[in-house]
Amino acid sequence: MSNHKSLTLVGEGNKGARIHDLVKAPANTPWAKARQQSWDANEPATVYFTPETLADGTPTSAVTVILRTKGCHWWWSSGCTFCGYFNDTRDDVTNEDLHAQWAYAKNKFDDFKDHGMVKVYTSGSLLEDREIPVPFQETVLRDCQELGKELIVESRCEQLTEEKLEWATSINTSFAVAIGLEAYDDEVLRFHVNKGFTTKSWDRAVTNLQKYKIRVKTYLMFKPPFMNEADALLHGVKWIEAVADRSDEISVNPMNIQRGTIIDRLHRHNEYRPPWLWSLVEMITRAHPTIHPQGTGNGGAGQVSRLIVHPTAGGRVRGAHNCGACDSHVVAAIERYAVSGDIQEFDGLACDCQKAWAEEVALEHALPTPLGISKPRRGNLLNALRAP
Ligand code: SF4
Ligand SMILES: [Zn+2]
């Protein structure tokens, strides 16, 4: 009898790598450790402002304060497959450091006097006591209340208990919570994202937020790891439809490749192409009737939610991109849609590469190619076919 073993679609009998180990490996490398220690804990990672819209639709500008923190507690124990926030954190940040960072931001923008909104991002959850000392949570909530600024903070689901929200709303009566849900699909959350919570925990968190009249912003991810373009498009539209009536705002983040992540490795191995900008246009076009059933645009009658797509690194190899020639026009139209909610922003957009994109999506619908067939995915064909 020969020892020849035929290859099967389920591998060669070797034990599979744990996703946890794959996620953690780069964070423990000497370059990552050295980088973490290089940050000044007294200054925020960045502070800048951008045009925004208040909850009632009034145009304003928003200061975004990205704080240098200890990072996300889910990252400490495992971590999401695309999250590169560990690059920006230091594990010894104290309450005093955070207060110094906050004072720096307020000082830089004169107590935010020319801005109606403040977004405070912590590379994790502001309301998580293990990450952010409670006195600092209180400072942010209280200052924004006293200064009369609409506040947006980010959080995972498990912190948003009735008890925590009761406490937070006793200090600040007008804030919004942005949750990185990524996908309204438990399989995708578990096997593609390694999110560490389920759609049920999002359901519960949203019920609690609504009980305390806190606005809900939902982040969805377009094209998570181990997914082809055609599936990303189908899922992207489905997830928007699933969360629209429970989200005041839906922000779809097209995958951009952050250093040291699983998606970074897939990308380097030519096994992942960031989304096409055409897919984003198509996703918005398909989801638009759900968001604006009366076709009236942002602020119009019957608006169910607000849909924002912001292609970070749009047009670059590591962000959502097309052929290179048409990218800036398409990115600009997508950004305009986020402001207007008017589907006509996409009228007249055209480029030869649209054919290649359409062909790719059609083939991926027709063939069993979970990792996709786009040119930058010319990795090992057998591995691609075997992929889950
Ligand atoms: S929950 Fe958010 S911050 Fe934490 S690992 Fe996942 S993406 Fe990163
Ligand atoms: Zn093009």
CA 275 / ligand 1 centre spacing (Å): 21
- Name 8's bridge partners: 11
pLDDT at 381: 59
Quote the CA–CA distance of 246 and 106 in Å, as a whole number: 32
The pLDDT score that the predictor gives to residue 233 is 97
Are 343 and 288 in contact by the 8 Å Cβ rule? The answer is: yes
- Distance of alpha carbon 72 from alpha carbon 194, whole angstroms: 14
Residue in 23, 24, 68, 80 to alter for ligand 1 test, most ligand atoms within 8 A of Cβ: 80
More confident residue, 35 or 314: 314
* Domains of the chain with bracketed CATH: 19-351 (3.20.20.70)
Q: Is 265 helix (H, G, I), strand (E, B) or coil?
A: helix
Identify the residue with better confidence: 57 or 362: 362
Start-end of H helices in 38-161: 73-77, 95-108, 134-147
Contact criterion met (CB below 8 Å) for 272 and 263: yes
pLDDT tens, residue by residue, 239-270: 999 999 999 999 999 999 998 899 999 898 88
Residue labelled with tokens 């059609």: 362
Q: What pLDDT is attached to residue 7?
A: 54
160, pLDDT greater than 90 = yes
pLDDT category at 351 given cuts 50, 70, 90 is: very high
Q: Model pTM? A: 0.90
- pLDDT of amino acid 1: 45
Q: Pick the atom of ligand 1 nearest to 72's CA.
A: 4
Ligand 2 is an ion; residues with CB less than 5 A from it: 322-323, 325-326, 351, 353
pLDDT of residue 3: 54
DSSP 216: E
111 against 19, higher pLDDT: 111
pLDDT at 227 over 50: yes
